[in-house]
Chain A
């Protein structure tokens, strides 16, 4: 059976792990999809509301995890909902992680091919990307934490530079206003399309075995969520001001265009988008390797297998799923479906498990 001798995830590293796994995901397309969903303005409110909702969910998840410190859903689940049911739920959740991870790597390939690597085949980009992330995921949680801590400041700093330079440059305050418009229904619509920024926090149900201070999980999760919420809100407002409410809905990757727009006097820094792309790939690399690790951990616990091998064996599955969407439209459709699936897992697990645990008095 699976036992951890040392608990490696401190509160600080959990904050960074969560922030950097959430940061890469919605950042490229968020301004477009959310602005389109709220039909113009108030996208930032939708993101803020979604962030608050996820803080509530995070505290619920933390409550569940706190009931069984040092365990994760696969270890404490059987006591609550019996082993077959728990294993089925976990297996489906892991399947969801596999599909979403595969789609992230597809996203990398699409964007890289469009902006930087024109003639490199998609298969090669996806393949090499997955090989590197697999290599990282094999190493285990220690390496992942260290890598996240290393990369997070770079990603964060790059985004900061882009936002500051744009805010000081082409940003037009009139285009970004009014800030408070729309009714609850439009916000709800916007929240639906900002779900996929945050659903990555589901990894905590599996990684909770490593928590050094389980009682601070809620705090750590919500801090990570707050960081990501703020960044996404600022990006939405700035891309509204730099483009405008109508134009931003027409640009497939508004954040890359923001990066492209930067031009310092004297041609000192041209082609900033290639720098930005590199760093964004690092961010997605974080996400993919952490979820790959989570999947391998889950499988090794469920079927009592060796973890390192089970990072490698699902590789063809990732690869095939990544190649499955035929075009970018289909890809976005898959992503939106997956975001609902992920959200329902995220929401249902703490609610159902806590309720049943209370009724059956397991603890």
Chain B
């Protein structure tokens, strides 16, 4: 009786206790350090463990440079105490390590802190522009961010002018965590047309895999430790390497062409030479490829709708539909020149296609795509001789609250 009882309930209970009582991967939340931002720089500093070879010895082997990884770690217990006015300590801390591989540098964090680091909550990854321009940008240094399972494809990716680690040392008005602040700033793209669309690291890996050229927003740390996001960096698709830069005006034009223009202002003098500002509410673009035998050409239709934000017109208020049409015409010309200028620059100077016009060919005519895909903006550079025609349509819908209605004479 006793024995049967032991076999029937005792042993299963024992096994159940062993199997169900704990979690192998248990980690208390208080002991975790949530990494929320990472910045990667090239450096010639010495590697942390002292017995490693010196920088000169390392360089002699022809190996890639060392990297300095700076991580921003949020401190959960000290965050979000609103109401309590005086919290002296910061809600985050930064730490940086030097190593040959990014992964190793990250693990070196653990030698410096009592916390275990979790990468699930990273908001942004920034690399300096000299990493982006170096040869092992694609092959070496980015691999970790795309390989590690904790990394999310939604993390924002930035290329900074100068040291990337500055980005995590910002001081702003609101005493925010820098990584959080940058994330918030980057969402402002809908209020300005001078910056490209936010760029996630998943998109980066997609573009690299596809070998197409692409554009990343440029981010700059100003002298008073604040950031400015404006302009764009152009990447070569074949080598995934920094190839050039687009100015703010060119970025506006680029945004208009690819249809990612969200909200922005275009300023141009009207026919009398007075400055007028046209705010674009919605801009749409349609790219239509025409393929006749071996000739490829593109028609890009851009239609911009918006309102008249400002006219520095000295005498009276222009509300006549004649004037509005005139401004529309001026804005159309302005957009046309800008758009042609950036296309010319990309076709002739850089010979790179960040518009992904190749995708349109692929959708339209797969056979043609197979034929040109290797020689589009690489190899024979077919892209640089393809005719691209723009058809622009502007429409002013509203003119604000001041204006004298048109008066019939006589």
- Given A243-B206, A244-B206: A114 and B154 within 8 A (CB)? no
- B154-A263 in contact (CB<8A): yes
Interface centre among A121, A181, A249, A260 (most CB of B within 10 A): A260
**Residues in B neighbouring A260, C-beta threshold 8 A:** 152-153
Residue A1 is within 8 A (CB to CB) of chain B in the complex = no
Q: Give the CA-CA distance A251 to B8 in the complex, in Å.
A: 47
Closest to B287 in A: A174
In Å, the complex CA distance between A248 and B209 comes to 9
Query: Complex formed: what's the CA distance from A128 to B211 in Å?
Result: 44
B 59-87 contacts with A by CB, 8 A:
none
Q: Contact between A117 and B366 (Cβ–Cβ < 8 Å)?
A: no
A115 and B210 in contact, given A174-B363, A247-B205, A261-B154 (Cβ under 8 angstroms): no
Which residues of chain B are near A124, meaning CB under 8 Å? 24
Asked if B354 is at the interface of the complex by the 8 Å CB criterion, the answer is no
Which one of B24, B154, B209, B363 contacts A246 once the chains associate, using CB atoms below 8 Å?
A: B209
Restricting to B358-381, which residues have a CB under 8 Å from any CB of A?
Answer: 359-360, 362-363, 366
Find chain A residues with CB under 8 A from B359 CB.
174-175
CB pair A257 B153 closer than 8 Å: yes
CB of B209 within 8 A of CB of A247, answer: yes
CB < 8 Å: which of A118, A128, A175, A245 contacts B19?
A: A128
Q: What is the bound-complex CA distance between A81 and B19, given in angstroms?
A: 47
Instruction: Flag if B211 contacts A246 (CB, 8 Å).
Output: yes
- Residue B53 lies at the interface, judged by CB distance under 8 Å to chain A: no
Q: How far is the CA of A271 from the CA of B363 in the complex (A)?
A: 34
Contacts of B152 in A (CB 8 A): 260-261
**How many Å lie between the Cα of A16 and that of B112 in the bound state?**
54
* Distance between Cα atoms of A120 and B27 in the complex (Å): 13
> Are A244 and B209 touching (Cβ within 8 A)?
yes
Contact check, A250 vs B209: say whether CB atoms are below 8 A apart: yes
- Least CB separation from B365: chain A residue: A178
Q: Does residue B294 face the partner (Cβ distance < 8 Å to A)?
A: no
Partner of A178, one of B19, B154, B366: B366
Q: Which of A180-196 contact B (CB under 8 A)?
A: 181
| CB of A177 closer than 8 Å to a CB of B | yes
A135 nearest CB neighbor, chain B only? B12
| Minimal Cβ-Cβ distance residue in B for A177 | B363
Given A177-B363, A178-B366, A263-B154: A120 in contact with B25 (beta carbons within 8 A) = yes
> A120-132 vs B: 1/0 string, CB under 8 Å?
1100100010010
The size class of the interface chain A forms with chain B is 20 to 34
Asked whether A119 is an interface residue with its Cβ less than 8 Å from the other chain, the reply is: yes
Chain B residues with Cβ below 8 Å from A175 are 359
Residue numbers in B under 8 Å from A178 (CB-CB)? 362-363, 366
B366 partner residues in chain A, CB cutoff 8 A = 41, 178, 181
Whether the pair A247, B210 counts as a contact (CB closer than 8 A) is: yes
B362 and A115 form a contact (CB under 8 A):
no
B149 interface residue per 8 A CB criterion: yes
Assembly CA distance A128 to B20 (angstroms): 10
B25 touches A114 (CB 8 A): no
Give B20's nearest chain A residue, CB to CB. A128
A182 to B, closest residue via Cβ = B366
Q: How far is the CA of A120 from the CA of B152 in the complex (A)?
A: 22
Output the nearest chain B residue to A181 by Cβ-Cβ distance.
B366
In the complex, what distance in Å separates the CA atom of A247 from the CA atom of B214? 15
Most A CB within 10 A of own CB, among B19, B149, B154: B149
Contact with A261, one of B24, B202, B211 (Cβ below 8 angstroms): B202
Chain B contacts of A243 at CB under 8 A? Answer: 202, 206
18 contacts across the A-B interface (CB closer than 8 A): A117-B25, A118-B25, A119-B24, A119-B25, A120-B24, A121-B24, A131-B19, A174-B360, A175-B359, A243-B202, A243-B206, A244-B206, A244-B210, A246-B209, A257-B153, A260-B152, A261-B202, A271-B120
Residues of B within 8 A of A (CB): 19, 24-25, 120, 149, 152-154, 202, 205-206, 209-211, 359-360, 362-363, 366
Residues of A within 8 A of B (CB): 41, 114-121, 124, 128, 131, 174-175, 177-178, 181, 243-247, 249-250, 257, 260-261, 263, 271
